[in-house]
Amino acid sequence: MGPRIPDFKKRIKEIELSIMIPIVALKGECHSTIGKLQDAENCIYIGGGTGIADGIVINGEIIDFNVVHDVKRSWELLTQTGETVESCLSPAGMIERYNNHRVINFYYLELSQKKDFIHVVKKAMEAFSVLMKQS
């Protein structure tokens, strides 16, 4: 097994992991040997999964949304209908939107091949537009 550290949870500082994930994802893309943004001077990063990891690089420097508070994150931005950009644009949100109107639920984006998935794509395009206008 590995070393046992009594009261380990009490010894470490609590971290708001959900707030740190986007910056960690962006740092990985910028600094990993297989990262797609290794030489990026200026870019907007949007990564999707259960939510959205978003970030900005300006002049080669990552903008830390935890320090710069005048830039909203995707879960703080709202579409015209009052939904969060994250809920409309993330793969998990897209699947949930589709499943809300169906008897048979999907769990992966294979549903994007369905003809009636277009309303989900249109909502994602609207959310992407909001995100780009904010950036």
In Å, what is the CA distance from 45 to each residue of 1, 92, 94, 115, 122? 38, 18, 19, 29, 21
CATH number, position 68: 3.30.420
pLDDT of amino acid 7: 65
Number of domains in the chain: 1
Cα separation, 83 vs 119, in Å, equals 15
Three-state secondary structure along 93-131?
Answer: HHHHHHHCCCCCCCCCHHHHHCHHHHHHHHHHHHHHHHH
Is pTM beyond 0.85? Reply is: no
Residue 14 CB neighbours (<10 A): 6
Whether 128 is covered by a domain: the verdict is yes
> 128: domain range?
8-134
Residue 22 CB neighbours (<10 A): 23
Whether 3 is covered by a domain: the verdict is no
Whether 79 is covered by a domain: the verdict is yes
Q: What is the pLDDT along the chain (135 residues), one digit of tens a residue?
A: 555 666 666 655 544 444 555 678 888 888 889 988 998 999 888 888 788 888 889 999 988 877 887 888 888 889 999 999 999 989 888 888 888 877 777 776 666 677 777 888 888 888 888 888 875
Whether 2 is covered by a domain: the verdict is no
